[in-house]
Amino acid sequence: MGIFTTLVYQPFFNLLVGIYWLLDIVTNGNADMGIAVILFTVVFRILWLPITFSSGRSAKERHDISEKIKKIKKEYAKEPLKEEAGMKKIMRGNRRIVAMSTFNIVFQLMVMLMLYRIFTTGLDGADFHLIYEWMPEMPKHFNLTFLGKFDLTRPNWTLNIIQSVIILIVEGLSGALSPFPTGRTELMALFVLPIGAFTFFAYMPAGKKLFVITTLLFTMMIQLVKGARILYYEFKGKAKKLAYGLIINKDKK
């Protein structure tokens, strides 16, 4: 926990309170921690973009690994030793993808713990001693009510519903833009994930939900840009084929 606090929690905690401090100056002492969380999330997601794009490029590799695993399980269903040996061979041959996926999961878990700590005890004063000495003097009290309505330190059902609806939309866009055929697992995830998220985050602080909602909207924006790019290249390709066909017909005449 000491390593987690020093290397993960403390830097991001200082980033959040630093953003709040800037907002406090801009708004003449009327900063909103919810707005700070939104800006913090955007900064965090920008820093995380290399991993996001790398994960996207590795999607085909992960899909191939999944297909190989399914094949081995089917082929050696009655031979557990051969099945285990085959699984180990696949893992050894794809260590980079496995390591990246593991790192992504572990870091996301650490982010979840970090946000839980920030909004349950950190901003109430328990972690003020972790603010770096070179940071400017912080306000003695943080405004932890987003838009004057949502207490960021307590659960909020409205934000929970909004979060689940956005998860449903993001999963739908992800399936529509995926180059792989949508299977039963993907269709189940489309409905299971929003319901699971609603249940899991039901009693989490609203500040964490605001972080997740902003993250999802950021992801949705990337998906829409990706979709627009796909449509552009498809239209461009069809236009070229049409122009080529017109030239050929003209030459024939």
Q: 208: domain range?
A: 154-253
Q: What are the pLDDT digits (tens) for 106-159?
A: 777 888 888 888 888 888 888 888 888 898 887 778 889 999 889 998 999 999
> Does 165 lie in the same domain as 125?
no
> Does 248 lie in the same domain as 174?
yes
> Does 190 lie in the same domain as 137?
no
Q: Is residue 204 part of a domain?
A: yes
CA of 82: how far to CAs of 64, 65, 70, 89, 229, in Å?
20, 17, 14, 10, 44
> Does 176 lie in the same domain as 140?
no
Question: What are the backbone dihedrals phi and psi of residue 147, each rounded to the nearest 5 degrees, phi first?
Answer: 60, 25
Q: What are the pLDDT digits (tens) for 27-78?
A: 888 899 999 999 999 998 888 777 666 655 555 566 666 667 777 777 777 7
Question: What are the backbone dihedrals phi and psi of residue 30, each rounded to the nearest 5 degrees, phi first?
Answer: -115, 40
> Does 206 lie in the same domain as 178?
yes
Q: What are the pLDDT digits (tens) for 161-180?
A: 999 899 888 888 777 766 55
> Does 12 lie in the same domain as 127?
yes
Spatial contact of 217 and 166, defined as CB atoms under 8 Å apart: yes
pTM higher than 0.85:
no
